[in-house]
Amino acid sequence: MDLNLHGRVALVTGGSKGIGLAVVRTLIEEGAFVVAASRSASPGLTALDGPNLLHVAGDLMDSAFPEQLVARTVEAFGGLDVLVNNAGGPPPGVVLPRGPFLDGGDDDWRAIFEFNLFAVLRLTRVAMPHLLERGGAIVNVSSTLAHQPATNNYEYAAAKAALSHAAKGLAEEFGPRGVRVNTVSPGVVRTNWWTDEGGVADMFAGAMGVDKDTLLDKTLPEMLRLSTGRFVEPQEIADAVVLLASPRSGSTNGSDFVVDGGLLKEM
């Protein structure tokens, strides 16, 4: 299916690995010009190098960076049609998952909200005039934790819930002016955060007395009651993101697409 993205300009945050890298790759395959923003490049991103890709290094928690990022995008490719706010999770120096509520203080909450909410809104504010010029689309990557609170990661879940809420309001305000805003909420996704050496999977595996592969392939899918029996792959999130970014989704606005392997059970 042609998603009508050929020649359109997309800006993807957190574009060097995981979900973001899969989104960048898919947009390029669809013929889009893509600006991938991240703190640093990666082998996976470097492998995509070509005339349709520009990597801009920077920190979204730096309040000056969004202006610079959008300016580089417009300078390189002449405008902006799609914004994918994918960057999220723990900012530098913060370790997730975090335990019970009393384990975190104000600074912990501020850091998570700064990266997962305020940085997104700051970039959206800068990008919106350009999106309005061309009738663009915004896709925010949220989380199933925005739907299903748990007794850990309070600040992350709250920040993602606020992001999903803000997206609904933005869709209502800017949809009539030609900019659609939608959300994708992943469940547990097989990304570097889980799989890297010394990452979360190693931590859980050590605590539970199983090897990492068993944990990822069997133990956690069973514990989380994933009806598909496995973690979500980054490409599956990217497919939903790119479909929502496409003009083929022209009547989809203010929606939240859950891609979670059957994690959420409620209606």
The yes or no reply on domain 9-189+232-259 and CATH 3.30.930.10 is no
- Is the predicted pLDDT of residue 172 greater than 80, yes or no? yes
Predicted TM-score (pTM) of this structure: 0.95
- Is the predicted pLDDT of residue 95 greater than 90, yes or no? no
By mean pLDDT, which of 59-68, 181-190, 217-226 is the weakest? 217-226
The pLDDT, as a whole number, for residue 211 is 83
- Is the predicted pLDDT of residue 39 greater than 90, yes or no? yes
156 annotated active-site: yes
- Is the predicted pLDDT of residue 266 greater than 90, yes or no? no
The pLDDT, as a whole number, for residue 128 is 98
Q: Which of 156, 204, 231, 257 is catalytic?
A: 156
- Is the predicted pLDDT of residue 247 greater than 80, yes or no? yes
pLDDT in tens, 139-155: 999 999 999 888 888 99
pLDDT confidence band for 103 (50 / 70 / 90): confident
- Is the predicted pLDDT of residue 267 greater than 80, yes or no? no
Domain boundaries, the chain: 9-189+232-259, 191-231
- Is the predicted pLDDT of residue 184 greater than 90, yes or no? yes
Cα–Cα distances in angstroms (integers) from residue 248 to residues 123, 198, 259, in the given order: 25, 41, 19
- Is the predicted pLDDT of residue 121 greater than 80, yes or no? yes
